[in-house]
Structure 1
Amino acid sequence: MLFSRLILDEVENIVSVRNISKTSQAYQDATELNPVSYLFASYQRLAAEKPTSPPQLLPTLHKCHQLIVRTLVTSILTPEIFEESNIVECLKDVVFQLKSEGTDIQRLFDPMFRKIVRLITQEEVSEIPLLCVKYLLIKTIALCFIHNLTLQVYLQLILFCVYAPYNRSLASIYMVQGRNKLPKSGRSLLYIYLRKSSLVTDPNKPTHPFFNEISTLQQSGVEREEERLQMCMDKFHSHLHVLFRNILRHPSCRTKLLSWINDLMTQHAFCAKLWTHERADPSKSMFTTDGIFINLSSVLVRLSLPFCADSSENAKSSNKFLKIDPTYCAATGCEDRVERDVHLGGLHKETCFLSLPEVDPPTLQLSGTYNFISECFFAAHRSFCLGLHGLLVKLYKLNQMLSKMREVYLDSLASGIEGESEVKQVFEKALANLLSTKATIYNPTFVNNCTRFFATTAQFLTQVALTEDRTKLCEFKLPLSETPPTPLYYIPEFLVQNLIDFLIYLNRENPEQMEDSQKFIPTFISLIAVYMGNKSRMQNPHLRATFSQALEGLLPLETEQSTATVERRKQSFSEFEHSKYLTTCVIHLFIDVEFTDDRDRFEEKFNNRRPLYPILRFLWNDERGEGKEAIRELAIEAVSNIESAKPPLLLTFVNLFLNDSIYFMDEAMNYMGKIKIEEQERDEGEWEQLPPEEKKEKGKILEQYVATARFYNVMSAETIEALSYLSKMEEVQELLCHSLLVDRIANMLNHILLHLVGSRQNMLKVKDFSHCAFKPALLVEGVCRIYSQLQHGDTFCIAVAQDGRSYQPDLFPRAFRVLRKINSLELSLKIHNLSLRIAELGNKEQTEEELFQDAPDEFFDPIMGTLMRDPVILPSSKKTVDRSTIARHLLSDPTDPYNRSPLTMEQLEPDLQLKQKIEDWEKNK
């Protein structure tokens, strides 16, 4: 009878009307011609009657329920029965209409959907009706924006999405490729889903669902838009997660889905190339692939959460990550990887933590099969590599572009030239792009999930660096053994790159969310301590250098953090028990970024070292004293082994540190002089005589000079401060005043002080010191404090006086006057006394040198021109030089200065005969 009702053409002529209007909902339901709408309305009425029906009617209602479900299944599987109706189209329309009316469809129709799918599962289903559903969804969803109600309805409610695990055919249609006549030929339904994004990915679309008319939005409006975007993305990612999870529940569908993910990543492998993003124009749009892989990353991270550490747990004792197999990536290159349940391919070709040695490479024992946990973990990281990494590159670039666009817009307003509205439109579109991207990336749910995921990554990588045992947690002991575990030769670097990208961005843009997971901070610091300064665990010095930026955001540095943040992070850092080792890692990294054999990255090494200064200062001041103890031990070792073939760690650090200090100061003074010249020309009216474009260019050049001078002034201040507190320690003083270093230290201090208080200081007097971050009084105070801390031995004072380049008799009196002006009275008195002492020792040394002026030429060092005290013979060139001279040279260049042959201190041959002749000659004088 029900079937007969559904195929009737003229229902109105048959329906009997009693006491109701033809405009009522009951009449509309009774005369409905759409079979799907009629069945859904009948089901709704049935559900409404059931709670109030007497028990004797319940069996009848149950039969009616079964009849409705069976009829709906029949209409889906054999749509040709209803020639006048497109059943799939009707199903979509009904669900959407009910949702738009506010009906809680998932609660009301959940039992119905489940029974429909079970019945379909029992039939020998042809794929034709299923593919019809798929093609309909593709056509419609391809036109939906992420915020559209239609899209949310499809993802949440269409039975083929929600209950796919009950049927392989239903699940597999998501990975089936489309036909040529479909939009985006060759793409599957999953691909269409993943393309939906809150990012601006199409520059040709006139509008974007979020942050439209940005110029009219106040801050509160921007925040509301951000919240709306994040709410849409939360729902969308939640639905995608359910869809993926349900497909994965069926073994055969799991294989298809994981293989599909591998194909997707392989086809878009170019997204991992940095140049792909550096040459893009993010002011117009981001890449479609950015949205795809952000969505996929979110889904894969959600699937990973069951084996991720929870912030409520003690991260140190969490062992869920032990099921991640570190040999997985190596297995992706095996011919039998499918038999091993490995569906991703090509990860073995990625750059790994360590390069395999050509001779006797370590052998890795692969597993027979690999679990889903390992596959999900590495797939998520690969997805981050293809999505988040490039998106952040473009986001940082867009920030810079917006700053320039703003200047162009203000210039156009000031000059009144045509095109001002066009400039404004371009700026607003770029700003909407920026805000959409930021809101997408630091969605609170996404960030919290990623924090747990990357904390688990840190635990995993720390364990792998310590041991090859995966059965239990390894005790965290430092320092590490010399021999690295074999899996490190096969784990891709992008795992660390992803983690660092996340930590740096979070600290830079949204540090408050990091505070919510502060229990993970010791976990992240432990990872950094293991890899940052250890070449035996990670070879790439550039990648290790980025750890310093991440560490800077984790430590309680008081420069730009709130008091509450500092206190919380102090508490977190107190749980880290290896700050002494971490201090040594900082010194190691400072050195390693110097020797990269990449001359094109000369400037980059300074950016890599910049975070190390505040980190070292924090470790030095740590109340536990482990940082100071580490420096003390390194200083003692350096003095004891100062002439060893391999220069001691702290000696190499000090040498490079001095090089940087001189370079920073020289560059800062150079740019300060350029700024002064440009400002004088501007103030004297010379710019007014220039054409508008040239005048504008002059302004940009001046701004560039100011920015560059600011960087070098900040770095100069950092180096002076570091040397100031390090030189307080007696062991460090002994090293700095050693004959190998004392001349360099004295020359550097004299050079800097002459710049600050000498005759050249007038070239530094720009209009506004603060714009250039130039603090001359504090620099003078810092330099003078170093002088006062190193003056206790005659060696240093004599070296200061013998500096023929920068030392002048009035150098310290000038510094004395500056210290008086800033009320540094105690230090000024020390400098006054030091000045007298240096003058006295200098005169005495000068008198002695005059006595030796007629010494034989062979007694003088051929490089420095000074009388040799400890002559040595260079083994390859057979030249004789003073030991201190060649020792200073070897710190920076381990070769013979005469023929470039390799040379170490241990290869030097003492010229005892010449030394005796010099001593005898001195006695006879």
Structure 2
Amino acid sequence: MATDENPFKRFCPKVQLEIQRHYPPNFKVLTTHFPTVPLRLNATLEDTFGFTLCHPDIRKFLKNIKYLSPKTVAKEVTYLPYTATQSDQGVYVWHPLLSLFNIEVALNEYLQASSGTKQTSLNYLFSCFVRLSYLESYDVRTHCIPLVHSAVARSVTSGSNSDLGEEVMKMCRMNFVSERATLPQTLEFLTNLIGQLSHEEMCRIFTPILLKFSEPFISNTSPDVIPTCHFVPYSVLFSVARIAQLFTSMLLDFRGLTTPLDFEFKTILGPLFRVSPINTYPSHFKDASTLTTSSIEGMCGMLNQRLTTLCEVAHQTFKPLFKHNSHSIFLWLSLFLKRNHPRGSLGLQLRTNTFQQTLYATDGMGLNVTTLLLKFCQKLCEGKLVSKINSFYCLIENNSSFESAVSRIGTNPSSVPVPHILELCKESKLCHCEDTEDLILDLSPDFSFPTQLFHVTHFALSVYYVPVIDTFINKSRQLAEIKDILPTLENQPLLKATYEDLIGSYLSLKSHLLSENLVQMLTQFCLFSCDWFLFLTGTKHKVTPQIACIPEFYLSNVLEILQFLSATCKDTLVTLQPDYSKFIQFSTVFLNNSDLILNPHKRGKIAEVLGTLTHSDNDTRHFLVSHTDRIRETLQSDRMALRHFLPGLLKVFAEIEVTGDDLEFEQKFTYRHSMYDLIELLWSSAPFKPCLDTLCREVLDRTYSTPPVLLKFLNALINDATFLLDEGLSHVQNVAVIEKLKSGTKWHELSEEEKNSKITELGQETRLARTMNRLAERTIHTLVRISHETPQILTIPVQIDSLATMLNYFLNQLTGPKNRTLNVLDREQLSFKPLDLLCHILEVYFNMAQFDTFLIAVVSDGRSYSESLLINTQKVLGVAKAPFDKMEKWQEICGKFSNTKRTLECNNISIENIPEEFLDALMNTLMSDPILLPSGNVVDRATIERHILNQKNDPFSRQPLSIEELEPIPELKERIEKWQRDKSNN
């Protein structure tokens, strides 16, 4: 028998006899007549390409085999020329003369034979390519795959595939081959295919396809289902580098975009990003006032799922685009956000103005863009890759104008750094560091993907999510106001329709703003940002060039979002169970170090947010308490927090008092109101007791050279209580006066203008009274807690007189003759609870009555204290039917006050008998610890320390003054003490 000269034999010596799979059990018969190796190879190639290299006689023999696979019989047959010789036995032996050339010829013959059939050449070649990829023989793959690629090139250049674009989209769907194609196989084939096209040909073929990207949303403003099957092939197509480049170049063609709104209606991505319940007309919540709670929850669940699907679609679509051309994508996103930046900067009234809305892209589109960026940030956050983010990104300056940078995008996008579009260098920074002024920043190489992504995401949050929070809160307030007058709307259809529209838009906004997927990503991103802020301060947690680069609005984003989410969607947070440990550590560091945040109100905001997060609502359902408890447990178990958190919190509480800016005076109460729960928690927390004891010792030892933080806090707390109680009662009295006027005969004598003025004034006084009374109640309640847990710190001379004077004054207001001026028609509307307030004040008396210094301070108050004050209070308690134990305690304390008063009267020294040098120059009272001021005046230490706590200046010269500058006069102190002893002995 002649020798088989098969050139492929050396390539596939280990190929299994695949023919056994096709032609059992007649293998012995077949191999008796024909050589085995060619049959093996032919079976493999037949499975791959769909044709055979066998001689017709062999094919005829195979067809007669009983167990031949029907699949094989049905295949089209083509063959190569062959030579045959006759052996000694008279049997013809086949010599197929296999070679790469012969296979290529056979492949071309097959393509020609199949032309005009339903199976196009590209589909066929792709199927062959997929099957070749699965072959075990590496040598066969490496020699045959190039043949497929060359066949593709001939097919493309011949122009035989007029519908090349559509064929490519079919390949991207990966649903037309019997073998399931993998994404790498598809991309390799498509990369080779598209690589055969010139740029002009590629643009001509694929531009129409890319323009159809958002086609499902162009004619339908509210699709019920996101057509994911439409976007799947695009995510595959964009994985081809040349297509990604073409698409991004189309995105960066900003010709015709004259307003920020054009990004939504005149760009390829606009229709996709504007899909939102906010932009749906009519609203999904039509006639919302008639809907049941379950119906609303069901609709919100459906919209939540839809938005999640939209986010996944956008993420899968943009993933390859970011991979191949992240710079261009960031340019498009950044320019969209920068053009719409004024919308976020506008005041709330302007943002909700219809005219202003038509100038900028909608909140729905902005929230979708933000959601997409947050989705990409998830991997960054989960990996906790804080070291991957370069903070110097925020310092890159644009030497030319902004518009010049935008104009260069269309011609040379790579020459325009994204920071030149965002212009973060112009934003107010978190803090100041002189070292940043000498930094030389280089844009080569470009900033990493994590860096770009992180900073653009924060910019997006400031432009859309945070401002939309204000819109949501405003709608919520409007609904609350309208709800009060709902009964009057029955005969006013126009107002009722306005109410229906408002509640529908409110629910639509809520369903997008608080969708579960978005809430999860927001929480994760904000906590990651806190970790990053902390990382930038270094191991010593001090000001560094890195932290000094950060725009202040980054911190505002984090604080506003965390506070909003904590107040509005605790149900979701309970499920997500976010880890707040880094936020606790970040707060501890930034509350203690004022150099890290130039704006004191931002530090106040940190404390306010912590107060919101740890606030325990008695009306909250039991399973929601775990969210607050978990945060409290984190706070009480963190080592850094146990040592430094309480001092930092108290420091901020006191320092808000003297911000030095022109913000409203009442702003500090907003911050402090949220801190009260947190302060009370820490005051009674066992893990924080060592820290609290240390702070108390600093105050009681009185060896400090600067006022301790606890002393500053107590001073601010007592000042707040005095101011708020006084203001609250004053506004209640004003309401009572106007109500009395309205119910009297003089009301009818007023003109309509005067009546309207009084009604307006009544509304203002009611709101102010409600606000002040609520703040006063929380302030005095905190004072009660402190007087219960650590009463000794309130007995120091600096504070004891202020405390006693404040308590006496308001006790007199509530129980004295003036309490009749507090009679109003609706106390609940004013949040005015006189009995509760009285009981809180009495609790402080009860807790402090164990100290003689407190008793002396109370009875020494010449402004409000009197025996009648004690009697009136007892009467009021009786009339109000106060608890018996309180009445009994008050009687006991009244006895102590009376005894103390008598003792003081017996030991009283007339001021005329006191040597003038022993008198306080400011208060004209006997000094116990005389101090010489820089101005030359002598005052008592308690007097001047109390003054410095409120105003850091010399009360006589108004020059700056600190405790370090106070000069004791021990000789004078000794003479005063000797004089007192002599008086006592006499």
If the length of structure 2 is used for normalisation, what is the TM-score? Answer: 0.74
Find 1:793's aligned residue among 820, 834, 851.
851
Bigger Cα displacement from structure 2, 379-388 vs 558-567 = 558-567
CA contact (8 A) 1:118 1:166 kept: no
Bigger Cα displacement from structure 2, 812-821 vs 651-660 = 812-821
CA contact (8 A) 1:333 1:347 kept: no
CA contact (8 A) 1:283 1:398 kept: no
Alignment match, 1:892: 950
Bigger Cα displacement from structure 2, 371-380 vs 166-175 = 166-175
Superposition pairs of residues 155-304 of structure 1, within 5 angstroms: 155-156=231-232, 165=241, 167-177=243-253, 180=256, 189-193=267-271, 195-198=273-276, 200=278, 207-208=281-282, 210-250=284-324, 253-273=325-345, 275-281=346-352, 288-304=361-377
Bigger Cα displacement from structure 2, 404-413 vs 587-596 = 404-413
CA contact (8 A) 1:342 1:375 kept: no
Q: 1:180 deviation in Å?
A: 4.3
The separation in 2 between residues aligned to 1:828 and 1:627, in whole angstroms, is 34
Give ranges in structure 2 of 5+ residues lacking alignment: 1-49, 51-68, 78-109, 127-151, 406-411
Bigger Cα displacement from structure 2, 764-773 vs 911-920 = 911-920
The separation in 1 between residues aligned to 2:215 and 2:943, in whole angstroms, is 78
SS in 1 for 2:716: helix
Q: Spell out, residue by residue over 1:714-737, the C-alpha distance to the aligned partner (whole angstroms, 9 max, x if none).
A: 2222222222221234xx434322
The separation in 2 between residues aligned to 1:327 and 1:166, in whole angstroms, is 32
Q: 1:608 deviation in Å?
A: 0.7
Q: 1:161 deviation in Å?
A: 6.4
Give the aligned length.
822
The separation in 1 between residues aligned to 2:272 and 2:912, in whole angstroms, is 83
Give ranges in structure 1 of 5+ residues lacking alignment: 1-45, 47-51, 96-103, 310-317, 468-480
Structure with higher Rg: it is 2
CA contact (8 A) 1:641 1:647 kept: no
CA contact (8 A) 2:156 2:196 kept: no
Superposition pairs of residues 438-837 of structure 1, within 5 angstroms: 438-467=510-539, 481=540, 483-555=542-614, 557-567=616-626, 569-571=628-630, 573-575=632-634, 576-578=637-639, 579-580=641-642, 581-622=644-685, 625-641=686-702, 644=705, 646-684=706-744, 701-729=761-789, 732-818=790-876, 824-837=883-896
CA shift in 2, pair 1:499/1:852, >3 Å: closer
Superposition pairs of residues 285-364 of structure 1, within 5 angstroms: 288-309=361-382, 319-330=384-395, 343-345=418-420, 346-357=423-434
Q: 1:801 deviation in Å?
A: 0.9
Bigger Cα displacement from structure 2, 489-498 vs 281-290 = 281-290
Alignment match, 2:934: 875
Bigger Cα displacement from structure 2, 714-723 vs 331-340 = 331-340
The separation in 1 between residues aligned to 2:977 and 2:495, in whole angstroms, is 79
The separation in 1 between residues aligned to 2:473 and 2:780, in whole angstroms, is 31
Read off the aligned partner of 1:612 and give its amino acid letter: M
SS in 1 for 2:939: strand
CA shift in 2, pair 1:867/1:530, >3 Å: closer
The separation in 1 between residues aligned to 2:161 and 2:437, in whole angstroms, is 69
CA shift in 2, pair 1:162/1:698, >3 Å: farther
Bigger Cα displacement from structure 2, 160-169 vs 546-555 = 160-169
SS in 1 for 2:956: coil
Q: 1:897 deviation in Å?
A: 1.5
SS in 2 for 1:881: strand
CA contact (8 A) 1:282 1:395 kept: no
CA contact (8 A) 2:534 2:541 kept: no
Q: 1:397 deviation in Å?
A: 1.9
The separation in 2 between residues aligned to 1:774 and 1:896, in whole angstroms, is 39
The separation in 2 between residues aligned to 1:405 and 1:684, in whole angstroms, is 30
CA contact (8 A) 1:556 1:570 kept: no
The separation in 2 between residues aligned to 1:664 and 1:690, in whole angstroms, is 33
The separation in 1 between residues aligned to 2:437 and 2:210, in whole angstroms, is 50
CA shift in 2, pair 1:553/1:862, >3 Å: closer
Read off the aligned partner of 1:145 and give its amino acid letter: T
Alignment match, 1:843: 902
Read off the aligned partner of 2:781 and give its amino acid letter: E
Q: Spell out, residue by residue over 1:820-841, the C-alpha distance to the aligned partner (whole angstroms, 9 max, x if none).
A: 6656444444432332222232
Q: 1:666 deviation in Å?
A: 0.6
The separation in 2 between residues aligned to 1:858 and 1:561, in whole angstroms, is 62
CA shift in 2, pair 1:516/1:223, >3 Å: closer
Alignment match, 1:101: none
CA shift in 2, pair 1:647/1:572, >3 Å: closer
Q: 1:165 deviation in Å?
A: 4.6
Read off the aligned partner of 2:700 and give its amino acid letter: V
CA contact (8 A) 1:742 1:799 kept: yes
SS in 2 for 1:810: helix
Q: Spell out, residue by residue over 1:235-261, the C-alpha distance to the aligned partner (whole angstroms, 9 max, x if none).
A: 3222221221121222xx222222323
The separation in 1 between residues aligned to 2:242 and 2:75, in whole angstroms, is 28
Q: Spell out, residue by residue over 1:803-835, the C-alpha distance to the aligned partner (whole angstroms, 9 max, x if none).
A: 111112122233345556656444444432332
CA contact (8 A) 1:503 1:553 kept: no
Q: 1:433 deviation in Å?
A: 2.0
SS in 2 for 1:661: helix
The separation in 2 between residues aligned to 1:919 and 1:545, in whole angstroms, is 45
The separation in 2 between residues aligned to 1:795 and 1:745, in whole angstroms, is 11
The separation in 2 between residues aligned to 1:831 and 1:885, in whole angstroms, is 30
Q: 1:850 deviation in Å?
A: 4.9
Alignment match, 2:223: 147
CA contact (8 A) 1:289 1:387 kept: no
Q: 1:423 deviation in Å?
A: 2.3
The separation in 2 between residues aligned to 1:503 and 1:239, in whole angstroms, is 27
CA shift in 2, pair 1:712/1:742, >3 Å: same
Read off the aligned partner of 2:121 and give its amino acid letter: L
Q: Spell out, residue by residue over 1:755-803, the C-alpha distance to the aligned partner (whole angstroms, 9 max, x if none).
A: 2222222222333433333333333232223223323333221211111
The separation in 2 between residues aligned to 1:276 and 1:152, in whole angstroms, is 38
Alignment match, 2:7: none
CA contact (8 A) 2:274 2:362 kept: no
SS in 2 for 1:574: helix
The separation in 2 between residues aligned to 1:880 and 1:807, in whole angstroms, is 29
CA shift in 2, pair 1:860/1:464, >3 Å: same
Alignment match, 1:392: 469
Q: 1:702 deviation in Å?
A: 4.0
CA shift in 2, pair 1:568/1:136, >3 Å: closer
SS in 1 for 2:330: helix
SS in 2 for 1:900: coil
Alignment match, 1:373: 450
CA shift in 2, pair 1:240/1:568, >3 Å: closer
CA contact (8 A) 1:142 1:192 kept: no
Confirm or deny that 1:865 pairs with 2:887.
Answer: no
Bigger Cα displacement from structure 2, 336-345 vs 58-67 = 336-345
CA contact (8 A) 1:77 1:129 kept: no
CA contact (8 A) 2:211 2:268 kept: no
Q: 1:610 deviation in Å?
A: 0.5
Read off the aligned partner of 2:361 and give its amino acid letter: T
Alignment match, 1:49: none
Q: 1:440 deviation in Å?
A: 0.7
Q: 1:489 deviation in Å?
A: 0.8
SS in 2 for 1:872: strand
CA shift in 2, pair 1:455/1:882, >3 Å: closer
